Chain A
Amino acid sequence: DQQVKQNSPSLSVQEGRISILNCDYTNSMFDYFLWYKKYPAEGPTFLISISSIKDKNEDGRFTVFLNKSAKHLSLHIVPSQPGDSAVYFCAASRDTDKLIFGTGTRLQVFP
Chain B
Amino acid sequence: ETGVTQSPTHLIKTRGQQVTLRCSSQSGHNTVSWYQQALGQGPQFIFQYYREEENGRGNFPPRFSGLQFPNYSSELNVNALELDDSALYLCASSLAEQRGFSGNTIYFGEGSWLTVV
Contacts and interface: CB of A to CB of B under 8 A. Distances in A.
Contacts, number: 67
A37 to B, nearest CB: 11
A99 B106 contact: yes
Interface stretch (A13-21, A43-51, A65-73, A74-82): A43-51
Nearest to B111: A43
A89 interface: yes
Interface residues of B, number: 28
A95 B40 CA distance: 27
Interface stretch (B12-20, B61-69, B74-82, B97-105): B97-105
Contact of B48 (A36, A48, A91, A98): A98
Contacts of B103: 32, 34, 46, 48-49, 91
Q: What secondary structure prevails in chain B residues at the interface with A?
A: loop
B40 A103 contact: yes
A27 B29 CA distance: 29
> Which residue of B4, B42, B101 has the most chain A CB atoms within 10 A of its CB atom?
B42
Given A43-B110, A43-B111, A46-B106, A99 B45 contact: yes
B42 A41 contact: no
Interface of B: 2, 4, 31, 33, 35, 40-45, 48, 56, 58, 90, 92, 94, 96, 101-106, 108-111
Interface of A: 4, 6, 32, 34, 36, 41-46, 48-49, 89, 91, 93, 95-104
